[in-house]
Amino acid sequence: MSTYVIGDIQGCNEALEVLLAALEFDRTRDRIWITGDLVNRGEDSLGVLRWCREHDDCVVAVLGNHDLHLLAVAQGFVPPHRKDTLELILQAPDREELLEWLRYRPMLYREGEWLMIHAGLPPQWDAAAAQTHACELERVLRGPRWRDFLKDMYGNDPRRWSPLLTGQDRLRFIANALTRTRYLHSDGSLEYQHKLGLGSVSPDLVPWFDFPNRSGGDARILFGHWSTLGLLVREDVVALDTGCLWGGALTAFRLEDEQCFQVRCPVR
């Protein structure tokens, strides 16, 4: 049995099919983990979502910011962005089944030494705290108040973690940390403006995984979200968003031997 962790797909269903064929994926023996952002901006978000739901017995996908955005758009809380490619999902006859399946995906998944999230962690959270706070948000998304959260999900504040945060502020911070983080300010607060790769920003900004005395070093973290960072394999973190959407590659990382597999993606 092999476990393959795949970076952000973002609706690039053709690339997913090519990658799965290259891996000789067999659902009876293999598992697929996905770092979030199953949908949006690619040409066939509906196909990706249907494949994942149909392979629910062997797929683990955490929620990314584009997945949460789809849920909010579907409820009419925000209009689609100009570059969104969600319309086929919203018009699909199995729309409600797909959205319900998506709403029940985890915000974080941990197995053994590996911890998978979409984006990053604030420096105050170790792996146990991250799991606890992810579960807080999961309970809301799967409970009767899920629409209330999505309605007021958007916003950048609060930017710094405090255990005293409550209500929507607390949930918004958890969602932003897990699905939007790239850089941190020197005080550990989340920074949202910069999306460029390492060495392209001012010295007072630090990649979340290099923050001094970061608490989350007790797990090996798999994440996506950061296409300009590209493939990064270290002892503490593995970054797997290699910009398939932008003409880069779709990447799979096999946990058993830490081997990487890639298929090139067309420029869109």
CATH number (domain holding residue 8): 3.60.21.10
In contact, 9 and 250? CB cutoff 8 Å: yes
Residue 146 CA to residue 149 CA, distance in Å, equals 5
Stated as kind and residue range, the H or E segment containing 3 is: strand 3-6
Closest CA to 196 of 210, 182, 184, 208: 182
Domain that holds residue 176: 3-264
Amino acid 268: pLDDT: 65
The Cα 45–Cα 157 span in angstroms is 29
Helix runs in the chain, H state only: 13-23, 45-54, 65-74, 87-91, 95-103, 127-141, 146-151, 167-180
Report how far residue 251's alpha carbon sits from residue 241's, in angstroms, rounded to the nearest whole number: 7
* Dist CA 170 CA 259 (whole Å): 37
Q: How many domains does the chain have?
A: 1
Q: Tell me if 231 sits within 8 A of 242, measured CB to CB.
A: yes
Residues 41, 10: Cα–Cα separation, whole Å: 6
Cα distances (angstroms) measured from residue 57 to each of 10, 238, 240: 21, 24, 23
Q: Which residues pair with 220 in a beta bridge?
A: 114
How far CA 9 is from CA of 118, 119, 123, 197, in Å, comes to 12, 14, 27, 19
At 31 the pLDDT is 98
> Using N-to-C axis directions, what is the helix angle for 45-54 and 13-23, rounded to 10°?
40
Q: For each of the chain's 268 residues, which pLDDT tens digit applies?
A: 999 999 999 999 999 999 999 999 999 999 999 999 999 999 999 999 999 999 999 999 999 999 999 999 999 999 999 999 999 999 999 999 999 999 999 999 999 999 999 999 999 999 999 999 999 999 999 999 999 999 999 999 999 999 999 999 999 999 999 999 999 999 999 999 998 888 788 888 999 999 998 887 789 999 999 999 999 999 999 999 999 999 999 999 999 999 999 999 887 6
Q: Over the stretch 175-196, which tens digit does the pLDDT of each residue have?
A: 999 999 999 999 999 999 998 8
